[in-house]
Copies of this chain bind each other. A is one copy, B any other.
């Protein structure tokens, strides 16, 4: 490894396996697969999806839609509430590709209809229990009314839902339970339509674990491409499925207090943590010829802007943690870590193209 500073390492084999798993699951359930690209934000990783037959994608901002348009993607859903203030750029992008926006109020739809000059698609964001945003699924009158206002410019493409409350789950039973209540809410809503609407759905826990996607037309999950320790804690995946590890140099030894300091902090990892088995910011791995191996019981315990503090169990081989060595850290939240890191490469050192911040 020629790494000298914090660098996000992607295990291409694992990432491709994660993509194949979800693509096959979608196919088996007769669903369209529209992966969310907010996790990787990478034209390189996008190609791996393309090679698995993916042509439709979701993103979380207009800027991200523009980046992927520039890399040849021509069917993009901006899965974030329509931002009235960006209508000019939206019009511009819609002249080039099939663009879908998310609508969740009469005011937003009225604005869209009066400002769009180029055909655009809209999906109605419905809240199936997460409580973040979207029209409550029980408010079918509002939803039906918005669906009925399609015209030649603004075309209704269906409903979208994100069962984000699966993120509170501990284990597959609780994921299934949250997913089931979401489907029940969706069912009551869908039954109000004369023609069953297209339904886009996609939190990583539900899509990873459940086999029941009745009513659903499309998978829109994203995190699964890399997974992370949060998904392990929820029960969506195993540690072995995590496809990213941050490589960080050891910059100070404090063996007297069973700690070492890494070059790697909040500006690389963000500040999400998990509580399993206790509060920490990442699990430590060592890199080897095959990728990496988990070091049981070794965690990133504290982070400040650029410093990370690793706690070492007393029996650990300290040679792996000596000054100037590179250690790996499985991230707590791969979406935020990947968002932060411009320096990304595969295990074999191939650079990963990453969207620039604008």
A174 CB–B CB distance under 8 Å: no
A177 CB–B CB distance under 8 Å: no
Given contacts A267-B339, A323-B108, A336-B267, contact A86 B4 (CB under 8 A): yes
Number of copies: 2
A82 and B5 CA atoms in complex are apart in Å by 12
- Nearest-CB residue, chain B, relative to A107: B323
Instruction: Give the contacting residue for A84; candidates B38, B85, B271, B323; CB below 8 A.
Output: B323
Given contacts A104-B252, A271-B271, A304-B164, contact A5 B263 (CB under 8 A): no
Q: In the bound complex, do residue A249 and residue B83 qualify as a contact, i.e. CB atoms below 8 Å apart?
A: yes
Q: In the bound complex, do residue A86 and residue B323 qualify as a contact, i.e. CB atoms below 8 Å apart?
A: no
A342 CB–B CB distance under 8 Å: yes
Residues 58-90 of A at the B interface (beta carbon under 8 Å): 60-63, 80-86, 89
Given contacts A111-B324, A266-B270, contact A133 B305 (CB under 8 A): no
Q: In the bound complex, do residue A358 and residue B343 qualify as a contact, i.e. CB atoms below 8 Å apart?
A: yes
Q: In the bound complex, do residue B343 and residue A305 qualify as a contact, i.e. CB atoms below 8 Å apart?
A: no
A105 CB–B CB distance under 8 Å: yes
A3 CB–B CB distance under 8 Å: yes
A253 and B5 CA atoms in complex are apart in Å by 43
Q: In the bound complex, do residue B132 and residue A305 qualify as a contact, i.e. CB atoms below 8 Å apart?
A: no
Number of A residues whose C-beta is below 8 Å from B? 56
Given contacts A61-B306, A267-B336, contact A252 B105 (CB under 8 A): yes
A254 CB–B CB distance under 8 Å: yes
CB distance from A230 to the nearest CB of B (A): 12
Q: In the bound complex, do residue B324 and residue A253 qualify as a contact, i.e. CB atoms below 8 Å apart?
A: no
- CB-CB under 8 A from A186, the residues of chain B are none
Residues 231-281 of A at the B interface (beta carbon under 8 Å): 249, 251-254, 261, 263, 266-267, 270-272
A28 CB–B CB distance under 8 Å: no
Q: In the bound complex, do residue A249 and residue B307 qualify as a contact, i.e. CB atoms below 8 Å apart?
A: no
Known contacts A81-B263, A305-B336, then 14 further A-B pairs from the complex at CB < 8 Å, ordered by chain A residue: A5-B62, A5-B83, A60-B305, A80-B251, A81-B251, A84-B249, A105-B253, A266-B336, A270-B270, A271-B271, A341-B357, A342-B356, A342-B357, A357-B357
Query: Which A residues contact B (CB, under 8 angstroms)?
Result: 3-5, 38, 60-63, 80-86, 89, 104-105, 107-108, 111, 132-134, 164, 249, 251-254, 261, 263, 266-267, 270-272, 302, 304-307, 309, 323-324, 326, 335-336, 339-343, 356-358
